[in-house]
């Protein structure tokens, strides 16, 4: 029996109208899937009903996983070896949505005659699924107290929403009628139109989330330390959803550069461009070293992935896209040998290709980075431009005492990494060493932005949603051994911070 399905967003129906479709089958039991609740009878239910919402949200989630598997192959498990995430199409009143490693959760809110259901937007569902995909392939990015890493997580969600749209032939055909070169504002690069409209109605037009986020933009990268912690929707701030638009702009421009370099600009070429871009982004998300300048790290890793996957055919498309947002990649510099380290070069040994690292390397790295001899590193092998490189990661603690009295004795963690290659038989640093003071400055800014937006849950009595700002509290203070550590609980969809509103 068919169901009603909105393939993009409730406010994009002029371009992607309601469809009658047969719902996707449940996921096979041996692959990553969802557990549903509040199931409704299958049928053609009107938009706005709980029955419609159930089937809509289910279909959007299943199609998102389908799009992901079309790009990256089978997805067998979510983060933490979990087989199923809970899909909760309506958990209460708010203008938001979140991913918290156990669920994709959505809300509703009524303003005047309009009720906004975040789970009714395929954009929003795909965005949350995007957080979950990224967490499955690169869990180290979930809880990094740095602006660019958090912003990349948000951008990844938006790009997944765009890719889900572009893997649909009808949407590609309509999109090319709207803009034959992808360079005019359009319903695909704009995400969550309906939810942002709900925010505009409820809180006012100057709220940071009162307009859709657009991947076709001209935002220029600048150091987030120099940005305000909140800003109206057309301006850039260090809040991660706002800052995300810089890197989603780079990825969208990569897509349009690749598309526009094709001899025929038709829906087949657009599908190909979306697949190529999606696969480069996913590979980069796996490999990109954990640097403070994570956007640049992603761009460089995309160029190296392109060398691997496409013989470097899209090098200029990527380089120019990032340059258009003030990010100079210099991808070769990343792998240039600089200083020789103590010990032999790391190597993959035995049948299992286990990474072997000389024991004298750790104290030498610690000394060079100005850390105590007891500093610990984790090592992983990664592939960049067809080479096996070793990444040494030190999880660096920044003390938060000076930021706020409630953060006395609390630390926040951010990874700092060094790339290691070989020169002859010897280990060599590639690129350079991280600047720990710079990292601490950026962690401080990240936490200040959380505080400004009331996103930290200081104790158990506080609710998940802030009473004063209506924002989700995405972080809490956790005891880890003897230490108190700022820890991420969830990624939400929208910065729902009040205090800057006009009504
Ligand atoms: Zn998000």
Q: Is the domain of 442 the same as that of 316?
A: no
CA 128 – ligand 1 centroid, Å: 6
For residues 119 and 26, state if they share a domain: yes
For residue 356, the CA-to-ligand 1 centroid distance in Å is 37
Ligand 1 center to 307 CA (angstroms)? 30
Instruction: Report the separation in Å between the CA atom of 335 and the middle of ligand 1, taken as the mean of its atom positions.
Output: 32
| 178 and 288 belong to one structural domain | yes
Both 182 and 245 in one domain: the answer is yes
Distance from residue 108's CA to the centre of ligand 1 (Å): 17
pLDDT at 284: 98
Asked whether residue 235 is domain-assigned, the answer is yes
Of 323, 350, 368, the domain-final residue? 323
In a domain, 246, yes or no: yes
Q: What is the pLDDT of residue 498?
A: 38
Distance (angstroms) between ligand 1 centre and the Cα of 481 equals 30
Q: How open is the CA angle 174-74-84, to the nearest 5 degrees?
A: 95
Q: What was the pLDDT predicted at 502?
A: 30
Query: What residue has token string 């951008």?
Result: 155
What are the angstrom distances between the C-alpha of 232 and each of 118, 218, 277? 21, 16, 30
Question: What does the angle CA 114 – CA 99 – CA 132 come to, to the nearest 5 degrees?
Answer: 125
| Whether residue 19 is found in the same domain as residue 103 | yes
- CA 155 – ligand 1 centroid, Å: 8
Are 418 and 294 within one domain? Answer: no
Of 448, 463, 479, the domain-final residue: 448
Residues 137, 227 within the same domain: yes
Residues 297 and 283: beta-carbon distance below 8 Å: no
For residues 446 and 354, the answer to whether their CB atoms sit within 8 Å is: no
| Residue 353 domain flag | yes
Verify that 168 and 314 share a domain, yes or no.
yes
Give residue 209 CA to ligand 1 midpoint distance, Å: 12
Q: Report if residue 252 sits inside a domain.
A: yes
What lies within 8 Å, CB to CB, of 371 at 6+ separation is: 394, 436
Instruction: Mark whether 285 and 312 lie in a shared domain.
Output: yes
- pLDDT (0 to 100) of residue 242: 95
Instruction: Choose the final residue of a domain: 295, 323, 351.
Output: 323
Is 485 a member of any domain? no
90: CATH: 1.10.390
Going by the DSSP 8-state scheme, the letter that residue 472 receives in this structure is B
Total structural domains within the chain: 2
Same-domain status, 58 and 185: yes
Residue 334 maps to a domain = no
Q: Find the 127 Cα to ligand 1 centroid distance in Å.
A: 6
CA 321/CA 480 separation, integer angstroms: 41
Q: Is residue 37 part of a domain?
A: yes
> Do 349 and 384 fall into the same domain?
yes
- Tens-level pLDDT at each residue, the chain (503 residues): 999 999 999 999 999 999 999 999 999 999 999 999 999 999 999 999 999 999 999 999 999 999 999 999 999 999 999 999 999 999 999 899 999 999 999 999 999 999 999 999 999 999 999 999 999 999 999 999 999 999 999 999 999 999 999 999 999 999 999 999 999 999 999 999 999 999 999 989 998 889 999 999 999 999 999 999 989 999 999 999 999 999 999 999 999 999 999 999 999 999 999 999 999 999 999 999 999 999 999 999 999 999 999 999 999 999 999 999 999 999 888 899 999 999 999 999 999 899 999 999 999 999 999 998 889 999 999 988 888 899 999 999 999 999 999 999 999 999 999 999 999 889 999 999 999 999 999 999 999 999 988 899 998 888 888 777 667 899 999 999 999 999 999 998 865 443 333 33
Q: What are phi and psi of 43, to 5 degrees?
A: 170, 180
Distance CA 192, CA 8 (A): 9
Span from the CA of 98 to the centroid of ligand 1 (angstroms): 7
d(CA 245, CA 251): 10
Answer yes or no: do 376 and 259 share one domain.
Answer: no
Distance 388 CA to ligand 1 centre (A): 32
pLDDT computed for residue 118 by the predictor = 97
Domain interval for residue 388: 341-448
Distance CA 213, CA 190 (A): 6
Distance 490 CA to ligand 1 centre (A): 9
Q: Dump pLDDT digits (tens) for 491-503.
A: 988 654 433 333 3
Close Cβ partners of 119 (under 8 Å, ≥ 6 residues apart): 53, 56, 57, 60, 88, 89, 90, 97, 106, 107, 108, 125
> Residue 30 C-alpha to ligand 1 middle, in angstroms?
27
- Assess contact for 444 and 403: CB atoms under 8 A: yes
Q: Is residue 333 in some structural domain?
A: no
* Burial track 120-153 (b if 16+ CB lie within 10 A, e otherwise): bbbbbbbbbbbbbbbbbebeebbbbbbbbbbbbb
């Amino acid at each position: 029996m068919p169901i009603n399905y909105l393939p993009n967003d409730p406010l994009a129906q002029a371009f992607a109208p309601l469809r009658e479709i047969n719902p996707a089958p449940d996921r096979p039991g041996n692959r990553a899937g969802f557990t549903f609740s509040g199931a409704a009878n299958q049928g053609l239910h009107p938009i706005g009903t709980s029955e419609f919402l159930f089937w809509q949200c289910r279909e959007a989630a299943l199609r998102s996983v389908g799009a992901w598997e079309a790009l990256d192959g089978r997805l067998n498990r979510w983060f933490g070896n979990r087989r199923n995430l809970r899909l909760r199409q309506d958990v209460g009143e708010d203008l938001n949505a979140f991913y918290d490693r156990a669920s994709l959760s959505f809300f509703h809110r009524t303003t005047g005659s309009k009720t906004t259901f975040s789970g009714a937007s395929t954009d929003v569902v795909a965005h949350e699924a995007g957080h979950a995909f990224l967490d499955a392939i690169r869990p180290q990015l979930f809880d990094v107290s740095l602006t660019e890493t958090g912003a990349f997580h948000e951008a990844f969600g938006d790009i997944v929403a765009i890719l889900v749209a572009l893997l649909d032939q009808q949407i590609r055909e309509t999109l090319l009628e709207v803009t034959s070169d992808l360079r005019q504002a359009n319903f695909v690069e704009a995400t969550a139109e309906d939810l942002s409209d709900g925010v505009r109605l409820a809180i006012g037009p100057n709220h940071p989330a009162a307009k859709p986020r657009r991947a076709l933009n001209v935002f220029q990268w600048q150091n987030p330390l120099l940005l305000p912690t909140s800003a109206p929707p057309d301006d850039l701030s260090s809040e991660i959803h706002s800052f995300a638009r810089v890197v989603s702009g780079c990825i969208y421009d990569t897509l349009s550069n690749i598309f526009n370099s094709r001899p025929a600009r038709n829906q087949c070429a657009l599908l190909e461009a979306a697949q190529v871009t999606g696969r480069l982004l996913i590979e980069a998300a796996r490999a990109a070293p954990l640097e403070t300048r994570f956007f640049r790290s992603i761009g460089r890793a995309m160029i190296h992935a392109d060398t691997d996957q496409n013989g470097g055919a899209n090098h200029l498309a990527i380089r120019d896209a990032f340059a258009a947002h003030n990010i100079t990649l210099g991808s070769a510099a990343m792998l240039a040998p600089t200083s020789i380290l103590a010990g032999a070069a790391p190597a993959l040994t035995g049948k299992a290709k286990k990474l072997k690292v000389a024991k004298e390397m750790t104290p030498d790295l610690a000394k060079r980075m100005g850390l105590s001899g007891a500093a610990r590193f984790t090592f992983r092998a990664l592939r960049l431009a067809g080479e096996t490189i070793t990444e040494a990661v030190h999880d660096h603690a920044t003390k938060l005492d000076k930021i706020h009295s409630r953060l006395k004795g609390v630390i926040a963690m951010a990874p700092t990494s060094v790339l290691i290659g070989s020169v002859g038989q010897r280990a060599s640093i590639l690129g350079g060493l991280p600047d720990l003071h710079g990292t601490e400055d950026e962690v401080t800014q990240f936490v200040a932005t959380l505080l400004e937006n009331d996103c930290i849950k200081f104790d158990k009595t506080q609710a998940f949603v802030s009473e004063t700002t209506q924002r989700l509290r995405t972080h809490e203070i956790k005891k880890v051994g003897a230490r108190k550590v700022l820890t991420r609980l969830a990624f939400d969809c929208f910065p729902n911070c009040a205090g800057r509103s006009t009504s």
